């Protein structure tokens, strides 16, 4: 009885969420595009949240990992390969490079890791701009095809939105699985106290590398989904600015919280759109909002979410395993 | 040969301004663990203030200079420390990083929105007639930039190495907890560091304004170069930031002259990447920050 009730409680937000995710299908073209972009950002933010929020390792290279996915899809697509192959290759490239870049993470600490990843992002950007034979240089690649399964084509904006939604669902489900498994517990143990985690038998090396590589693989998937959205990519979309934007997304949503990336992705795409009505002022207001949010909600907007949930009823027990410890925002 | 010498002087001149900005950046990191992503805007705002006091209000130069430094230390030193950093120091590095990104956007787009999106001209501070030394042509502006930046950095060095407050700052940089135990008022020192940084960036602003013109978005490039200079030289050393700033200035000037103008901004990146690959603690950095 209670088991059924608990699973119902767990399924309810999921059902509401899936219904909400279908609402953009009724939108006009531009709003649908913004909603599609939100899905890309959601996938990216989930990846970064895993690396940064759960395992506590800062990454300023998420834009570069995203580029692997985008260019894998674009380049393979030009040669007639199916779209899913591109997604797979993007994720694999992200994973492999995540391992390589994450390797210094074993030796260096917080702000040094920020610099190593920052440098990596810059190198990738320069490579994308200069390897014209492969990436088209600064002109980029245009005419990127959307996926098609035989007679079923995801060519229209609505169909492609649904296709992205399916991938987003896979990413959300797999992230949930990782975080509730022993891996997620190991990640959090490392973030809280490295020495204690190691003493308890957590292999620091393996889990740190994995947290980095899995986060990067998700970024590869996000990048792959992003490429056919406009059908055109160029290196300018994968700069350090982009990586910083992802960082803001994850921190503003709520570090180390499963709901965080959802809130962050919606916030970063929707807020500028809403504020655009105020003409040129929107960047000023956006900047003010970012500062105020960090001042009064350093744990992210997830705090508001908690407050709403607390008002609606007693906190469901199912959420407890993913709740952060009191010092989650501390990464110093 | 004379060309090379003149280019070196030009590089050192721009590099010394980068170095001032980078040193402030490193000071903030050392005493308060603040990675200030708004450092570029900390230069832009005083530059606009100088335009306001000097060219709009038509104050005498010295008075305008004083007003600019005072305004900068108050707004970017005291107020930022008091209202943004004080609260966020308790929540850790990341929220503070995000807040400084917000601050940089806020300053940049407020200037664009409420003042002007155009570049404001700034008159040269020194004679543009070059000085002749035999076959050498040296620009007064470049020489004076080096002189003033050198004086500012030298004064700062004396302050840190010779005064009690400076020693206290070093102690806080090395071990915050121990410094607190020894009775050092860490909070007050952080405030002093912020004020010092704001004074440094205000001086950098006045020196760089005639070179770059005054525009709301020049802080993006400046901030990034200060950051690169700090990484290249070593994040935990003031002399590292000095070395890094000079190196970035010299290499980008030489690259612009001998390779191509487009390569100017890429030059700093090339050194940055080389340093990150071979000596991630920085050319003059110390390995103490490395985890075991």
Q: Is the pLDDT of residue A112 over 80?
A: no
For the ranges A15-24, A102-111, B124-133, the one whose mean pLDDT is highest: B124-133
Beta bridge partners of B120: B214
Alpha carbon of B121: minimum distance to chain A alpha carbons (Å): 24
- Cβ pair A295:B99 closer than 8 A: yes
Cβ-contact B215, B119 below 8 angstroms: yes
- Cβ pair A123:B105 closer than 8 A: no
Interface test with A, best of B41, B94, B278 (most A CBs within 10 A): B94
The residue of chain A nearest to residue B93, with distances taken between CA atoms, is A332
Confidence of residue A187 (pLDDT cuts 50, 70, 90): confident
With vertex at residue A64, the alpha carbon angle to CA A58 and CA A68, rounded to the nearest 5 degrees, is 130
Q: With an 8 Å Cβ cutoff, is A162 touching chain B?
A: no
The confidence score (pLDDT) of residue A21 equals 78
The confidence score (pLDDT) of residue A108 equals 62
Q: With an 8 Å Cβ cutoff, is A331 touching chain B?
A: yes
Alpha carbon of B174: minimum distance to chain A alpha carbons (Å): 15
More confident of the two residues A171 and A57: A171
More confident of the two residues B134 and A35: A35
Cα torsion B119, B123, B129, B135: sign: negative
With pLDDT > 70 as the criterion, what percentage of chain A qualifies? 88
Confidence of residue B289 (pLDDT cuts 50, 70, 90): very low
Q: ipTM of the predicted structure?
A: 0.86
Average of per-residue pLDDT values in chain B: 88
Q: Which residues contact A298 (CB under 8 A, 6 or more apart)?
A: A329, B88, B91, B92, B95
Q: Is the pLDDT of residue A329 over 70?
A: no
The confidence score (pLDDT) of residue B45 equals 96
- Cβ pair B88:A122 closer than 8 A: no
Q: Is the pLDDT of residue A319 over 50?
A: no
Alpha-carbon radius of gyration of chain A: 20
The confidence score (pLDDT) of residue B279 equals 79
The confidence score (pLDDT) of residue B290 equals 38
Q: Of A116, A288, A299, which has the smallest distance from its Cβ to B106's Cβ?
A: A288
The mean pLDDT of B38-54, rounded to a whole number, is 94
* Token pair listed for A80: 């007639």
Q: Of A284, A290, A330, which has the smallest distance from its Cβ to B98's Cβ?
A: A290
Average of per-residue pLDDT values in chain A: 83
Q: Is the pLDDT of residue A237 over 50?
A: yes
Closest CA to A136 of A55, A270, A227, A202: A227
Write out residues 187-226 of A within 8 Å (CB-CB) of B: none
- Alpha helix positions (H), chain B: 2-32, 39-50, 61-72, 86-88, 93-114, 140-162, 164-174, 176-181, 186-212, 218-233, 238-258, 264-278
Confidence of residue A119 (pLDDT cuts 50, 70, 90): confident
The residue of chain A nearest to residue B84, with distances taken between CA atoms, is A295
For the ranges A54-58, A156-160, A205-209, A218-222, the one whose mean pLDDT is highest: A218-222
Interface test with A, best of B99, B102, B285 (most A CBs within 10 A): B102
Q: Which residues contact B120 (CB under 8 A, 6 or more apart)?
A: B48, B51, B213, B214, B215
More confident of the two residues B153 and A207: B153
The confidence score (pLDDT) of residue B291 equals 35
Cβ-contact A160, A229 below 8 angstroms: yes
Q: Is the pLDDT of residue B140 over 60?
A: yes
Q: Of B33, B91, B106, which has the smallest distance from its Cβ to A284's Cβ?
A: B106
Q: Of B102, B109, B273, which has the smallest distance from its Cβ to A294's Cβ?
A: B102
Confidence of residue B58 (pLDDT cuts 50, 70, 90): very high
Q: Is the pLDDT of residue B151 over 60?
A: yes
Alpha carbon of A37: minimum distance to chain B alpha carbons (Å): 22
Q: Is the pLDDT of residue B117 over 80?
A: yes
More confident of the two residues B154 and A281: B154
Q: With an 8 Å Cβ cutoff, is A255 touching chain B?
A: yes
* Token pair listed for B233: 């030289």
Distance CA B166, CA A235 (A): 45
Q: Which residues contact B262 (CB under 8 A, 6 or more apart)?
A: none
Kindly list the residues from chain B whose CB atom is less than 8 angstroms away from the CB atom of residue A283: 105, 109, 113
The confidence score (pLDDT) of residue A106 equals 67
The residue of chain A nearest to residue B82, with distances taken between CA atoms, is A295
Write out residues 225-254 of A within 8 Å (CB-CB) of B: 244, 247-248, 251-252
The confidence score (pLDDT) of residue A105 equals 63
Which tens digits make up the pLDDT trace of B173-203? 888 888 889 888 988 999 999 999 999 999 9
Kindly list the residues from chain B whose CB atom is less than 8 angstroms away from the CB atom of residue A119: 272-273, 276-277
Alpha carbon of A22: minimum distance to chain B alpha carbons (Å): 32
More confident of the two residues A132 and B69: B69
- Cβ pair B273:A122 closer than 8 A: yes
Kindly list the residues from chain A whose CB atom is less than 8 angstroms away from the CB atom of residue B231: 115
The confidence score (pLDDT) of residue A183 equals 83
The confidence score (pLDDT) of residue B97 equals 85
Which tens digits make up the pLDDT trace of A266-316? 888 888 778 777 777 878 888 888 899 888 888 888 888 788 778 876 555
The mean pLDDT of B150-158, rounded to a whole number, is 92
The residue of chain A nearest to residue B273, with distances taken between CA atoms, is A119
- Cβ pair A122:B235 closer than 8 A: no
Residue B288 CA to its chain's centroid (Å): 24
Q: Give the position of tokens 């930022």.
A: B80
Which tens digits make up the pLDDT trace of B76-95? 999 999 988 888 887 777 78
The mean pLDDT of B22-46, rounded to a whole number, is 91
The mean pLDDT of A146-173, rounded to a whole number, is 89
Alpha carbons within 13 angstroms on the beta-carbon side of residue B127 total 6
Alpha carbon of B130: minimum distance to chain A alpha carbons (Å): 38
Alpha carbon of A23: minimum distance to chain B alpha carbons (Å): 31
Distance CA A38, CA B243 (A): 43
């Amino acid at each position: 009885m209670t088991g059924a009730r608990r699973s119902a409680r767990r399924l309810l937000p999921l059902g509401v969420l899936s219904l909400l995710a279908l609402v953009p299908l009724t939108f006009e073209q531009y709003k649908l595009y913004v909603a599609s972009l939100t899905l890309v950002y959601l996938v990216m933010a989930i990846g970064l949240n895993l690396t940064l929020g759960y395992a506590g390792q800062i990454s300023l290279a998420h834009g570069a990992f995203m580029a692997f996915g985008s260019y894998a899809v674009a380049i393979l697509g030009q040669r007639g390969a199916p779209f899913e192959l591109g997604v797979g290759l993007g994720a694999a490239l992200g994973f492999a490079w995540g391992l390589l870049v994450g390797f210094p993470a074993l030796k260096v600490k917080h702000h040094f890791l920020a610099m190593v990843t920052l440098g990596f992002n810059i190198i990738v950007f320069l490579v994308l701009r200069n390897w014209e034979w492969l990436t088209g240089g600064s002109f980029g690649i245009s005419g990127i095809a959307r996926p098609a399964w035989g007679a079923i084509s995801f060519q229209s904006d609505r169909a492609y939105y649904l296709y992205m939604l399916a991938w987003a669902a896979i990413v959300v489900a797999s992230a949930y699985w990782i975080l509730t498994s022993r891996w997620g517990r190991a990640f959090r143990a490392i973030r809280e106290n490295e020495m204690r985690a190691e003493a308890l038998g957590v292999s620091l090396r393996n889990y740190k590398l994995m947290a980095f590589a899995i986060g990067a693989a998700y970024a590869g998937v996000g990048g792959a989904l992003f490429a056919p959205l406009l059908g055109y990519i160029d290196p300018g979309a994968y700069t350090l600015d982009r990586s910083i934007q992802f960082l803001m997304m994850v921190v503003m949503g709520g570090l180390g919280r499963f709901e965080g990336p959802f809130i962050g992705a919606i916030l970063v795409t929707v807020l500028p759109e809403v504020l655009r009505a105020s003409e040129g002022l929107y960047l000023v207001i956006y900047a003010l909002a970012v500062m105020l949010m960090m001042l009064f909600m350093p744990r992210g907007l997830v705090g508001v979410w908690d407050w709403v949930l607390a008002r609606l009823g007693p906190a469901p027990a199912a959420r407890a395993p993913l709740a952060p410890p009191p010092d989650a925002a501390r990464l110093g | 040969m004379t060309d090379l010498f003149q280019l070196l002087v030009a590089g050192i001149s721009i590099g010394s301004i980068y170095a001032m900005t980078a040193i402030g950046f490193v000071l903030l990191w050392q005493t308060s663990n603040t990675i200030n992503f708004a450092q570029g805007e900390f230069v832009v705002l005083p530059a606009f203030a100088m335009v306001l006091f000097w060219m709009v209000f038509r104050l005498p130069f010295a008075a305008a200079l004083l007003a600019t430094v005072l305004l900068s230390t108050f707004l970017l030193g005291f107020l930022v420390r008091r209202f943004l950093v004080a609260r966020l120091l308790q929540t850790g590095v990341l929220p503070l990083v995000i807040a400084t990104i917000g601050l940089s956007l806020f300053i940049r787009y407020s200037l664009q929105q409420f003042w002007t999106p155009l570049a404001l001209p700034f008159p040269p501070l020194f004679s543009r007639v070059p000085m002749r030394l035999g076959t050498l042509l040296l620009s007064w502006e470049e020489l004076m930039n080096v002189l003033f930046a050198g004086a500012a950095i030298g004064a700062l060095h004396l302050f840190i190495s010779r005064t009690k407050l400076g020693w206290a700052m070093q102690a806080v940089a090395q071990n915050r907890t121990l410094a607190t135990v020894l009775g050092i008022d860490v909070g007050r020192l952080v405030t002093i560091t912020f004020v010092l940084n704001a004074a440094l960036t205000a001086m950098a602003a006045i020196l760089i304004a005639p070179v770059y013109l005054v525009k709301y978005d020049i802080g993006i490039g400046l901030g990034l170069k200060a950051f690169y200079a700090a990484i290249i030289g070593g994040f935990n050393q003031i002399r590292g930031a000095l070395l890094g700033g000079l190196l970035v200035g010299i290499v980008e000037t030489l690259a612009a002259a001998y390779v191509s103008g487009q390569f100017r901004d890429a030059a700093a990146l090339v050194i940055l990447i080389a340093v990150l690959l071979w000596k991630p603690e920085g050319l003059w950095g110390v390995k103490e920050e490395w985890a075991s």
